[in-house]
Amino acid sequence: MILLIDADSLIFASCLKKRESDLDNPFYVYIEDCISKFDEQFMQIINDLEELYDIKKVLVFNGSRGNFRKLLTKKYKANRKKIEIPPLLGDMHKYVFENYKGIKGYGVETDDMVAKYWHNITQDVGRDNVMIVSIDKDYKQFPALIYNYHFNHRTVLDITEQDAMYNFYEQMIVGDVADNVNYFKGKGKAFAKKYYLGCETKYQYTKKLYELFKKEYKSKARQRYTECYNLLKLRTK
**Each residue's pLDDT tens digit, 138-154:** 999 999 999 999 988 89
- Phi, psi for 156 (deg, rounded to 5): -100, 125
Pure H helices in 175-220: 189-195, 202-217
Quickly name the fold that domain 2-159 has.
Rossmann fold (3.40.50)
> Tell me, what's the pLDDT at 82?
74
Domain ranges within the chain, ordered by starting residue: 2-159, 162-232
Which region, left, alpha or beta, applies to residue 28 given φ > 0 means left and ψ of -120 to 50 means alpha?
Answer: beta
Residues with Cβ within 8 Å of 124's Cβ and at least 6 positions away in sequence, in order, are: none
CA distance linking residue 202 with residue 172, whole number of Å = 13
Are 231 and 69 a contacting pair, CB within 8 Å? yes
> Tell me, what's the pLDDT at 76?
86
Q: Are strands 130-133 and 145-148 parallel, antiparallel or unpaired?
A: parallel
Element (H, E) at 5: strand 2-6
> Tell me, what's the pLDDT at 21?
72
> Tell me, what's the pLDDT at 168?
98
Give the number of other CB atoms < 10 A from CB of residue 124.
9
Q: Which residue from 74, 52, 79, 25 is spatially nearest to 155, judged by alpha carbons?
A: 52
Are 157 and 141 a contacting pair, CB within 8 Å? no
Express each pLDDT in 167-207 by its tens digit. Answer: 999 999 999 988 989 999 999 999 999 999 999 999 999 99
Give every residue of the chain whose pLDDT is below 70, as ranges.
81
